[in-house]
Amino acid sequence: MWNENIVEHSQVLTKGNLGCKIGVDMTIPQQLSEQLLSALKNVLGEALPAGFVPAVTASQDLRFGDYQSNAAMVLAKQVKTNPRALATQVTQAMNACEIATLEIAGPGFINFRIRPEYYAARASSMLQDERLGVARTEAPKSLVIDFSAPNVAKPMHVGHIRSTIIGDTLARLARFLGHHVVTDNHIGDWGTQFGMILWGWKNILRQQDLENDPIEALLDVYKKVNSMCKEDEALLPVCKAELVKLQSGDEENLAIWKRCIDVTKTGLEKIYNQLDISFDYWLGESAYNDALAPLVEDLLAKGIAKESEGAVCVFSDGFHKPQEDPFLVQKNGEWVPVPAIIRKADGGFLYATTDLATLDYRTAHFNADSIWYVVGAPQEKHFKQIFDIERMRGVTGDFRHVAFGSILGKDRRPFKTRSGDTVSLQDVIDEAVARATKVIEEKSPDLPAEEKARVARIVGVGAIKFAELSQNRMSDYIFDWDKMLSLSGDTAPYLQNSYVRVRSIFRKIDGQFIATQSITLSDDAEIHLARLLVRYGEVVPSTLDDCRPNLLAAYLYDLARAFHSFYEACPVLKSEGAVRESRLALCELTARVLKQGMGLFGIEMPERM
Ligand code: ARG
Judged against a pLDDT cut of 70, whether residue 2 lies above it is answered with: no
When pLDDT is cut at 50, 70 and 90, the band that residue 121 belongs to is: very high
Question: Is residue 149 within 6 Å of ligand 1 at its C-beta?
Answer: yes
pLDDT bin (cut points 50, 70, 90) of residue 50 is very high
Give all strands (DSSP E) within 17-154, no chain letters.
57-58, 67-69, 100-105, 109-114, 142-146
Q: Is 67 a pocket residue for ligand 1 (Cβ < 6 Å)?
A: no
Where is 38: in which H helix or E strand? Answer: helix 28-44
285 C-beta closer than 6 A to ligand 1: no
pLDDT for res 425: 87
Which amino acid residue places its CA nearest to atom 4 of ligand 1? 150
CB of 352 shorter than 6 A to ligand 1: no
Residue 546 CA, ligand 1 centroid: distance in Å: 21
Residue nearest to atom 5 of ligand 1 (CA): 149
Under the banding of pLDDT at 50, 70 and 90, the label for residue 9 is very low
- Region 380-403: what's the mean pLDDT? 98
Note the pLDDT of residue 137. Answer: 96
372 lines ligand 1 (CB under 6 A): no
515 closest CA partner among 590, 591, 584, 593: 584
Distance separating alpha carbons of residues 572 and 118, to the nearest angstrom? 22
Over residues 455-467, the pLDDT tens digits come to 999 999 999 999 9
- The total of other beta-carbon atoms located within 10 Å of residue 21's CB is 10
Q: Is 388 in the pocket of ligand 1 (CB under 6 A)?
A: no
What is the model's pLDDT at position 1? 33
Residue 76: count other Cβ atoms within 10 Å of its Cβ.
18
pTM (predicted TM-score): 0.93
Question: How far apart, in whole angstroms, are the C-alpha atoms of residue 86 and residue 82?
Answer: 6
Q: How many Å is the Cα radius of gyration of the chain?
A: 29
Is the CB–ligand 1 distance for residue 151 below 6 Å?
Answer: yes
**Ligand 1 atom showing the smallest separation from residue 187 Cα:** 1
Confirm or reject: Cβ of 188 under 6 Å from ligand 1: yes
CA of 188 to the centre of ligand 1 (A): 7
- The continuous run of DSSP H or E covering 549 comes out as helix 549-569
Residue of 157, 186, 282, 363 to mutate, ligand 1, most atoms within 8 A of C-beta: 186
**Does the pLDDT of residue 339 top 50, yes or no?**
yes
> What is the distance in A from the centroid of ligand 1 to the CA of 375?
7
Check if 191 has its Cβ closer than 6 Å to any atom of ligand 1. Answer: no
Mean pLDDT calculated for residue range 477-495: 95
Centroid of ligand 1 to alpha carbon of 161 (angstroms): 13
Instruction: Please give the pLDDT value at position 160.
Output: 86
What kind and span of H or E run contains 415?
A: none
The 10s digit of each residue's pLDDT in 282-333 is: 999 999 999 999 999 999 999 999 999 999 999 999 999 999 999 999 999 9
Burial of 8 (0-12, 13-18, 19+ CB in 10 A): middle
Asked whether 178 lines ligand 1 (CB < 6 A), one says no
Asked whether residue 4 carries a pLDDT value surpassing 50, the answer given is no
Three-class SS of 201-249: HHHCCCHHHHHHCHHHHHHHHHHHHHHHHHHCCCHHHHHHHHHHHHHCC
Mean pLDDT calculated for residue range 344-370: 97
Q: Is 184 in the pocket of ligand 1 (CB under 6 A)?
A: no
**Rounded to an integer, what distance in angstroms lies between the CA atom of residue 296 and that of residue 292?**
6
The per-residue pLDDT for range 201-233, each reduced to its tens digit, is 999 999 999 988 888 899 999 999 999 999 999
* DSSP conformational letter for 135: P
Residues 6+ apart with CB under 8 A from 563: 498, 501, 502, 529, 587, 590
Tell whether the model's pLDDT for residue 5 goes beyond 60: no
